[in-house]
Structure 1
Protein backbone atom coordinates (compact mmCIF):
# COMPACT_ATOMS: atom_id res chain seq x y z
CA UNK A 1 0.00 0.00 0.00
CA UNK A 2 2.84 2.31 0.86
CA UNK A 3 4.52 1.65 -2.52
CA UNK A 4 1.27 2.48 -4.33
CA UNK A 5 1.01 5.86 -2.58
CA UNK A 6 4.59 6.57 -3.48
CA UNK A 7 3.86 5.87 -7.17
CA UNK A 8 0.92 8.29 -7.11
CA UNK A 9 3.09 10.98 -5.57
CA UNK A 10 5.76 10.54 -8.28
CA UNK A 11 3.34 10.57 -11.29
CA UNK A 12 1.19 13.51 -10.16
CA UNK A 13 3.80 16.18 -11.06
CA UNK A 14 4.30 14.59 -14.48
CA UNK A 15 0.58 14.69 -15.22
CA UNK A 16 0.35 18.32 -14.17
CA UNK A 17 3.25 19.22 -16.45
CA UNK A 18 1.59 17.45 -19.39
CA UNK A 19 -1.70 19.31 -18.82
CA UNK A 20 0.14 22.62 -18.68
CA UNK A 21 1.91 21.87 -21.95
CA UNK A 22 -1.39 21.07 -23.68
CA UNK A 23 -2.90 24.29 -22.37
CA UNK A 24 0.02 26.37 -23.63
CA UNK A 25 -0.23 24.75 -27.08
CA UNK A 26 -3.94 25.51 -27.22
CA UNK A 27 -3.33 29.16 -26.34
CA UNK A 28 -0.64 29.46 -28.96
CA UNK A 29 -2.87 28.10 -31.74
CA UNK A 30 -5.57 30.71 -31.02
CA UNK A 31 -3.16 33.67 -31.28
CA UNK A 32 -4.22 36.08 -34.08
CA UNK A 33 -0.79 35.88 -35.66
CA UNK A 34 -1.30 32.27 -36.73
CA UNK A 35 -4.00 30.03 -38.20
CA UNK A 36 -4.16 26.41 -39.40
CA UNK A 37 -3.44 27.63 -42.92
CA UNK A 38 -0.41 29.60 -41.79
CA UNK A 39 -2.10 33.01 -42.43
CA UNK A 40 -3.15 35.63 -39.95
CA UNK A 41 -6.55 35.17 -38.39
CA UNK A 42 -7.22 38.85 -39.16
CA UNK A 43 -6.13 38.82 -42.78
CA UNK A 44 -6.59 42.10 -44.71
CA UNK A 45 -7.03 42.49 -48.44
CA UNK A 46 -4.40 44.45 -50.36
CA UNK A 47 -5.32 48.01 -51.28
CA UNK A 48 -4.44 49.99 -54.40
CA UNK A 49 -3.55 53.64 -54.75
CA UNK A 50 -6.32 54.23 -57.33
CA UNK A 51 -9.70 54.30 -55.63
CA UNK A 52 -13.22 54.43 -57.11
CA UNK A 53 -13.27 58.20 -56.62
CA UNK A 54 -10.64 58.72 -59.31
CA UNK A 55 -11.89 60.51 -62.45
CA UNK A 56 -11.10 59.82 -66.07
CA UNK A 57 -10.96 63.48 -67.12
CA UNK A 58 -7.27 63.18 -67.93
CA UNK A 59 -8.14 60.64 -70.62
CA UNK A 60 -9.63 63.38 -72.78
CA UNK A 61 -6.34 65.27 -72.88
CA UNK A 62 -5.69 68.99 -73.18
CA UNK A 63 -7.10 71.22 -75.90
CA UNK A 64 -5.41 73.51 -78.41
CA UNK A 65 -6.34 76.51 -80.55
CA UNK A 66 -7.69 74.25 -83.28
CA UNK A 67 -10.19 72.68 -80.86
CA UNK A 68 -11.44 76.13 -79.86
CA UNK A 69 -11.76 77.28 -83.47
CA UNK A 70 -13.54 74.07 -84.42
CA UNK A 71 -16.13 74.37 -81.65
CA UNK A 72 -16.76 78.10 -82.19
CA UNK A 73 -17.08 77.84 -85.98
CA UNK A 74 -19.10 74.65 -85.92
CA UNK A 75 -21.61 76.12 -83.45
CA UNK A 76 -22.31 79.02 -85.84
CA UNK A 77 -22.34 76.57 -88.75
CA UNK A 78 -24.84 74.30 -87.00
CA UNK A 79 -27.01 77.27 -86.01
CA UNK A 80 -27.37 78.22 -89.67
CA UNK A 81 -28.16 74.64 -90.71
CA UNK A 82 -30.87 74.45 -88.05
CA UNK A 83 -32.29 77.79 -89.21
CA UNK A 84 -32.42 76.49 -92.79
CA UNK A 85 -34.05 73.25 -91.64
CA UNK A 86 -36.66 75.18 -89.65
CA UNK A 87 -37.87 76.80 -92.90
CA UNK A 88 -38.79 73.45 -94.41
CA UNK A 89 -41.78 72.83 -92.15
CA UNK A 90 -43.84 75.63 -93.75
CA UNK A 91 -42.31 75.80 -97.22
CA UNK A 92 -42.09 72.29 -98.62
CA UNK A 93 -44.79 69.73 -99.39
CA UNK A 94 -42.15 67.00 -99.73
CA UNK A 95 -42.15 64.36 -96.94
CA UNK A 96 -38.55 63.49 -97.86
CA UNK A 97 -37.33 67.06 -97.46
CA UNK A 98 -39.26 67.45 -94.20
CA UNK A 99 -37.77 64.23 -92.84
CA UNK A 100 -34.26 65.32 -93.83
CA UNK A 101 -34.75 68.71 -92.17
CA UNK A 102 -35.96 66.98 -89.01
CA UNK A 103 -32.91 64.70 -88.91
CA UNK A 104 -30.58 67.68 -89.33
CA UNK A 105 -32.16 69.47 -86.38
CA UNK A 106 -32.20 66.38 -84.18
CA UNK A 107 -28.49 65.78 -84.80
CA UNK A 108 -27.14 69.31 -84.69
CA UNK A 109 -29.03 70.93 -81.81
CA UNK A 110 -27.52 68.56 -79.20
CA UNK A 111 -24.09 69.04 -80.78
CA UNK A 112 -24.43 72.81 -80.37
CA UNK A 113 -25.15 72.31 -76.66
CA UNK A 114 -22.21 69.93 -76.27
CA UNK A 115 -19.72 72.21 -78.02
CA UNK A 116 -20.91 75.21 -76.01
CA UNK A 117 -20.15 73.22 -72.86
CA UNK A 118 -16.64 72.47 -74.08
CA UNK A 119 -15.96 76.13 -74.80
CA UNK A 120 -17.12 77.14 -71.32
CA UNK A 121 -14.85 74.51 -69.79
CA UNK A 122 -11.98 75.90 -71.90
CA UNK A 123 -12.75 79.44 -70.72
CA UNK A 124 -13.55 80.54 -74.28
CA UNK A 125 -16.37 82.56 -75.85
CA UNK A 126 -19.52 80.74 -76.93
CA UNK A 127 -21.04 82.09 -80.18
CA UNK A 128 -24.69 83.10 -79.97
CA UNK A 129 -27.20 85.28 -81.80
CA UNK A 130 -25.56 88.36 -80.29
CA UNK A 131 -22.13 87.65 -81.74
CA UNK A 132 -20.89 90.70 -83.72
CA UNK A 133 -21.60 90.32 -87.41
CA UNK A 134 -24.58 88.00 -86.90
CA UNK A 135 -28.04 89.06 -87.99
CA UNK A 136 -31.36 88.39 -86.28
CA UNK A 137 -31.37 84.89 -87.71
CA UNK A 138 -28.61 82.44 -86.71
CA UNK A 139 -25.94 82.24 -89.37
CA UNK A 140 -27.02 85.39 -91.21
CA UNK A 141 -23.66 87.16 -90.93
CA UNK A 142 -20.75 86.99 -93.38
CA UNK A 143 -18.14 84.50 -92.25
CA UNK A 144 -15.05 82.79 -93.64
CA UNK A 145 -16.38 79.53 -92.18
CA UNK A 146 -16.53 76.92 -94.99
CA UNK A 147 -20.01 76.30 -96.38
CA UNK A 148 -21.76 79.19 -94.65
CA UNK A 149 -24.53 80.94 -96.56
CA UNK A 150 -24.55 84.71 -97.09
CA UNK A 151 -27.43 86.88 -95.85
CA UNK A 152 -28.61 87.14 -99.46
CA UNK A 153 -28.67 83.36 -99.80
CA UNK A 154 -30.72 82.98 -96.64
CA UNK A 155 -33.20 85.67 -97.64
CA UNK A 156 -33.65 84.06 -101.04
CA UNK A 157 -34.41 80.69 -99.43
CA UNK A 158 -36.93 82.31 -97.08
CA UNK A 159 -38.81 83.72 -100.09
CA UNK A 160 -39.27 80.32 -101.80
CA UNK A 161 -41.82 77.55 -101.38
CA UNK A 162 -42.85 74.28 -102.98
CA UNK A 163 -40.52 72.59 -105.45
CA UNK A 164 -38.43 75.74 -105.89
CA UNK A 165 -37.73 75.73 -102.17
CA UNK A 166 -36.81 72.03 -102.23
CA UNK A 167 -34.26 72.46 -105.02
CA UNK A 168 -32.65 75.52 -103.43
CA UNK A 169 -32.70 73.99 -99.96
CA UNK A 170 -31.00 70.79 -101.10
CA UNK A 171 -28.33 72.62 -103.12
CA UNK A 172 -27.57 74.97 -100.25
CA UNK A 173 -27.52 72.21 -97.66
CA UNK A 174 -25.15 70.09 -99.74
CA UNK A 175 -22.77 73.05 -99.95
CA UNK A 176 -23.25 73.65 -96.23
CA UNK A 177 -22.52 70.02 -95.33
CA UNK A 178 -19.41 69.99 -97.51
CA UNK A 179 -18.10 72.91 -95.47
CA UNK A 180 -18.83 71.07 -92.21
CA UNK A 181 -17.02 67.96 -93.45
CA UNK A 182 -14.01 70.08 -94.42
CA UNK A 183 -13.92 71.69 -90.98
CA UNK A 184 -14.31 68.34 -89.24
CA UNK A 185 -11.47 66.79 -91.24
CA UNK A 186 -9.22 69.70 -90.23
CA UNK A 187 -10.11 69.08 -86.58
CA UNK A 188 -9.31 65.39 -86.97
CA UNK A 189 -5.90 66.26 -88.38
CA UNK A 190 -4.91 69.15 -86.09
CA UNK A 191 -7.05 69.02 -82.96
CA UNK A 192 -5.81 67.75 -79.60
CA UNK A 193 -8.94 67.23 -77.49
CA UNK A 194 -10.25 63.67 -77.62
CA UNK A 195 -13.95 64.55 -77.46
CA UNK A 196 -13.68 67.30 -80.08
CA UNK A 197 -11.93 64.94 -82.45
CA UNK A 198 -14.50 62.22 -81.78
CA UNK A 199 -17.38 64.58 -82.66
CA UNK A 200 -15.50 65.66 -85.78
CA UNK A 201 -15.33 62.03 -86.90
CA UNK A 202 -19.07 61.65 -86.32
CA UNK A 203 -19.80 64.79 -88.35
CA UNK A 204 -17.72 63.53 -91.28
CA UNK A 205 -19.62 60.23 -91.33
CA UNK A 206 -23.16 61.55 -90.77
CA UNK A 207 -23.01 64.57 -93.03
CA UNK A 208 -21.24 62.69 -95.82
CA UNK A 209 -24.12 60.21 -95.74
CA UNK A 210 -26.64 63.05 -95.91
CA UNK A 211 -24.80 64.60 -98.86
CA UNK A 212 -25.21 61.32 -100.72
CA UNK A 213 -28.89 61.26 -99.76
CA UNK A 214 -29.48 64.82 -100.98
CA UNK A 215 -27.66 64.22 -104.24
CA UNK A 216 -30.01 61.29 -104.79
CA UNK A 217 -33.02 63.51 -104.15
CA UNK A 218 -31.70 65.91 -106.79
CA UNK A 219 -31.31 63.03 -109.24
CA UNK A 220 -27.51 63.16 -109.26
Structure 2
Protein backbone atom coordinates (compact mmCIF):
# COMPACT_ATOMS: atom_id res chain seq x y z
CA UNK A 1 0.00 0.00 0.00
CA UNK A 2 2.79 2.39 0.91
CA UNK A 3 4.49 1.85 -2.44
CA UNK A 4 1.20 2.30 -4.36
CA UNK A 5 0.37 5.48 -2.43
CA UNK A 6 3.85 6.86 -3.16
CA UNK A 7 3.35 6.28 -6.89
CA UNK A 8 -0.04 7.95 -6.76
CA UNK A 9 1.31 11.03 -4.98
CA UNK A 10 4.20 11.24 -7.44
CA UNK A 11 1.86 11.05 -10.40
CA UNK A 12 -0.37 13.71 -8.86
CA UNK A 13 2.61 15.98 -8.30
CA UNK A 14 3.69 15.58 -11.90
CA UNK A 15 0.22 16.45 -13.16
CA UNK A 16 -0.02 19.44 -10.82
CA UNK A 17 3.40 20.71 -11.89
CA UNK A 18 2.46 20.40 -15.52
CA UNK A 19 -0.79 22.26 -14.88
CA UNK A 20 0.98 25.10 -13.06
CA UNK A 21 3.57 25.34 -15.81
CA UNK A 22 0.84 25.60 -18.43
CA UNK A 23 -0.97 28.28 -16.43
CA UNK A 24 2.25 30.19 -15.93
CA UNK A 25 2.96 30.04 -19.67
CA UNK A 26 -0.49 31.41 -20.47
CA UNK A 27 -0.04 34.25 -18.01
CA UNK A 28 3.33 35.25 -19.43
CA UNK A 29 2.25 34.97 -23.07
CA UNK A 30 1.21 38.26 -24.71
CA UNK A 31 -2.49 38.60 -25.27
CA UNK A 32 -4.06 39.38 -28.62
CA UNK A 33 -5.40 42.68 -27.34
CA UNK A 34 -2.34 44.83 -28.25
CA UNK A 35 -2.36 43.41 -31.78
CA UNK A 36 -6.06 44.09 -32.05
CA UNK A 37 -5.55 47.64 -30.78
CA UNK A 38 -2.75 48.23 -33.26
CA UNK A 39 -4.88 46.93 -36.10
CA UNK A 40 -7.71 49.19 -35.01
CA UNK A 41 -5.42 52.21 -34.84
CA UNK A 42 -4.03 51.45 -38.29
CA UNK A 43 -7.54 51.12 -39.65
CA UNK A 44 -8.51 54.45 -38.10
CA UNK A 45 -5.43 56.13 -39.58
CA UNK A 46 -6.18 54.73 -43.01
CA UNK A 47 -9.80 55.83 -42.84
CA UNK A 48 -8.80 59.36 -41.81
CA UNK A 49 -6.86 59.73 -45.05
CA UNK A 50 -9.94 58.65 -46.99
CA UNK A 51 -12.31 61.06 -45.27
CA UNK A 52 -13.27 63.75 -47.77
CA UNK A 53 -16.20 65.60 -49.24
CA UNK A 54 -17.07 67.07 -52.64
CA UNK A 55 -15.15 70.25 -51.85
CA UNK A 56 -11.96 68.23 -51.25
CA UNK A 57 -12.40 66.40 -54.54
CA UNK A 58 -13.06 69.54 -56.57
CA UNK A 59 -10.17 71.38 -54.93
CA UNK A 60 -7.70 68.61 -55.80
CA UNK A 61 -9.01 68.28 -59.36
CA UNK A 62 -8.96 72.00 -60.10
CA UNK A 63 -5.68 72.74 -58.32
CA UNK A 64 -3.96 70.00 -60.30
CA UNK A 65 -5.02 71.70 -63.53
CA UNK A 66 -4.10 75.11 -62.10
CA UNK A 67 -0.64 73.88 -61.09
CA UNK A 68 -0.11 72.28 -64.50
CA UNK A 69 -0.74 75.68 -66.08
CA UNK A 70 1.76 77.35 -63.74
CA UNK A 71 4.39 74.73 -64.55
CA UNK A 72 3.87 75.19 -68.29
CA UNK A 73 4.39 78.95 -67.91
CA UNK A 74 7.32 78.53 -65.53
CA UNK A 75 9.15 76.05 -67.76
CA UNK A 76 8.85 78.49 -70.67
CA UNK A 77 10.17 81.31 -68.48
CA UNK A 78 13.07 79.18 -67.28
CA UNK A 79 14.14 78.90 -70.92
CA UNK A 80 13.34 82.42 -72.16
CA UNK A 81 13.71 84.84 -69.27
CA UNK A 82 16.64 87.23 -69.57
CA UNK A 83 16.72 88.22 -65.89
CA UNK A 84 18.49 85.67 -63.65
CA UNK A 85 16.07 86.38 -60.79
CA UNK A 86 13.09 85.64 -63.02
CA UNK A 87 14.72 82.43 -64.27
CA UNK A 88 15.39 81.30 -60.70
CA UNK A 89 11.82 82.11 -59.64
CA UNK A 90 10.38 80.17 -62.58
CA UNK A 91 12.50 77.14 -61.70
CA UNK A 92 11.35 77.28 -58.07
CA UNK A 93 7.69 77.48 -59.07
CA UNK A 94 7.97 74.44 -61.35
CA UNK A 95 9.96 72.54 -58.73
CA UNK A 96 7.44 73.21 -55.95
CA UNK A 97 4.22 72.59 -57.82
CA UNK A 98 5.21 69.31 -59.46
CA UNK A 99 5.30 67.37 -56.16
CA UNK A 100 2.03 69.00 -55.10
CA UNK A 101 0.39 67.66 -58.26
CA UNK A 102 1.66 64.18 -57.40
CA UNK A 103 0.31 64.53 -53.86
CA UNK A 104 -3.16 65.63 -54.96
CA UNK A 105 -3.25 62.90 -57.60
CA UNK A 106 -2.53 60.31 -54.89
CA UNK A 107 -5.42 61.70 -52.83
CA UNK A 108 -7.88 61.36 -55.68
CA UNK A 109 -6.74 57.78 -56.25
CA UNK A 110 -7.08 56.99 -52.52
CA UNK A 111 -10.52 58.57 -52.44
CA UNK A 112 -11.51 56.61 -55.57
CA UNK A 113 -12.32 59.88 -57.33
CA UNK A 114 -11.68 60.75 -60.97
CA UNK A 115 -8.49 62.47 -62.01
CA UNK A 116 -9.07 65.79 -63.79
CA UNK A 117 -9.43 65.94 -67.54
CA UNK A 118 -9.86 68.86 -69.89
CA UNK A 119 -13.46 67.80 -70.56
CA UNK A 120 -14.34 67.79 -66.85
CA UNK A 121 -12.56 71.07 -66.17
CA UNK A 122 -14.33 72.68 -69.10
CA UNK A 123 -17.68 72.29 -67.36
CA UNK A 124 -16.55 74.13 -64.20
CA UNK A 125 -16.48 77.80 -63.32
CA UNK A 126 -12.89 78.77 -64.04
CA UNK A 127 -12.68 82.36 -62.86
CA UNK A 128 -9.53 81.68 -60.80
CA UNK A 129 -8.03 79.82 -63.77
CA UNK A 130 -7.96 82.92 -66.00
CA UNK A 131 -5.13 85.44 -66.14
CA UNK A 132 -5.86 88.97 -67.26
CA UNK A 133 -9.06 87.66 -68.85
CA UNK A 134 -7.21 84.96 -70.82
CA UNK A 135 -7.28 81.19 -70.57
CA UNK A 136 -4.15 79.05 -70.44
CA UNK A 137 -3.90 78.59 -74.20
CA UNK A 138 -4.10 82.32 -74.89
CA UNK A 139 -1.55 83.06 -72.18
CA UNK A 140 0.95 80.62 -73.64
CA UNK A 141 0.46 82.03 -77.14
CA UNK A 142 1.11 85.53 -75.88
CA UNK A 143 4.18 84.60 -73.86
CA UNK A 144 5.63 82.62 -76.77
CA UNK A 145 5.40 85.72 -78.96
CA UNK A 146 7.49 87.83 -76.56
CA UNK A 147 11.20 88.02 -75.80
CA UNK A 148 13.73 89.89 -73.70
CA UNK A 149 12.64 92.18 -70.89
CA UNK A 150 9.17 92.35 -72.39
CA UNK A 151 8.81 88.61 -71.84
CA UNK A 152 10.08 88.82 -68.27
CA UNK A 153 7.70 91.61 -67.35
CA UNK A 154 4.66 89.93 -68.91
CA UNK A 155 5.49 86.59 -67.32
CA UNK A 156 5.64 88.22 -63.89
CA UNK A 157 2.32 89.98 -64.49
CA UNK A 158 0.53 86.84 -65.62
CA UNK A 159 2.05 84.58 -62.97
CA UNK A 160 1.07 87.08 -60.29
CA UNK A 161 -2.51 86.90 -61.57
CA UNK A 162 -2.23 83.11 -61.67
CA UNK A 163 -1.05 82.98 -58.05
CA UNK A 164 -3.91 85.20 -56.95
CA UNK A 165 -6.30 82.71 -58.54
CA UNK A 166 -4.72 79.85 -56.59
CA UNK A 167 -5.00 81.83 -53.36
CA UNK A 168 -8.66 82.58 -54.05
CA UNK A 169 -9.38 78.90 -54.71
CA UNK A 170 -7.53 77.84 -51.57
CA UNK A 171 -9.28 80.36 -49.33
CA UNK A 172 -12.72 79.32 -50.57
CA UNK A 173 -11.85 75.66 -50.16
CA UNK A 174 -10.63 75.95 -46.57
CA UNK A 175 -14.11 77.04 -45.50
CA UNK A 176 -15.76 74.01 -47.11
CA UNK A 177 -13.18 71.21 -47.11
CA UNK A 178 -13.15 68.19 -44.81
CA UNK A 179 -9.86 66.37 -45.43
CA UNK A 180 -7.23 67.65 -43.00
CA UNK A 181 -4.28 67.12 -45.35
CA UNK A 182 -6.01 68.96 -48.19
CA UNK A 183 -6.89 71.87 -45.91
CA UNK A 184 -3.27 71.99 -44.74
CA UNK A 185 -2.01 72.07 -48.34
CA UNK A 186 -4.41 74.91 -49.15
CA UNK A 187 -2.91 76.90 -46.29
CA UNK A 188 0.62 76.18 -47.52
CA UNK A 189 -0.33 77.33 -51.04
CA UNK A 190 -1.72 80.58 -49.66
CA UNK A 191 1.42 81.26 -47.63
CA UNK A 192 3.96 80.34 -50.33
CA UNK A 193 2.24 82.08 -53.21
CA UNK A 194 1.58 85.25 -51.20
CA UNK A 195 5.34 85.50 -50.63
CA UNK A 196 6.01 84.86 -54.32
CA UNK A 197 3.54 87.56 -55.36
CA UNK A 198 5.50 90.09 -53.31
CA UNK A 199 8.72 88.83 -54.89
CA UNK A 200 7.28 89.14 -58.42
CA UNK A 201 5.96 92.64 -57.77
CA UNK A 202 9.41 93.73 -56.59
CA UNK A 203 11.06 92.13 -59.62
CA UNK A 204 8.63 93.79 -61.99
CA UNK A 205 9.36 97.21 -60.51
CA UNK A 206 13.04 96.67 -61.22
CA UNK A 207 12.58 95.91 -64.91
The TM-score, its normalising length taken from structure 1, stands at 0.72
The correspondence for 1:72, drawn from 57, 61, 68, is: 61
Q: Is the 8 A contact 1:61 1:192 kept in 2?
A: no
| TM-score normalised according to structure 2 size | 0.76
Q: Which residue of 1 aligns with 2:119?
A: 131
Partner Cα distance (1:80, 1:41) in 2: 65
Q: How does 1:88-127 map to 2 (within 5 A)?
A: 88-127=77-116
Match of 1:45 in 2: 30
Q: Is there any run of 5+ residues in structure 1 with no aligned partner, and where?
A: 1-12, 135-141
Count residues with an aligned counterpart: 196
Structure 2 residues not aligned, in runs of 5+:
none
Alignment partner, residue 153 of structure 2? 167
Residue 130 of structure 2: aligned partner: 148
Q: CA deviation at 1:105?
A: 0.9
Q: Is the 8 A contact 1:75 1:127 kept in 2?
A: yes
Mapped pair 1:30 → 2:17: yes
Max radius of gyration: which structure? Answer: 1
Higher helix share: 2
Give 1:169 deviation, angstroms. Answer: 0.9
Q: Root-mean-square deviation (CA), in Å?
A: 3.2
- Structure 1 distance, partners of 2:89, 2:59, is 24
Aligned-partner SS, 1:33: helix
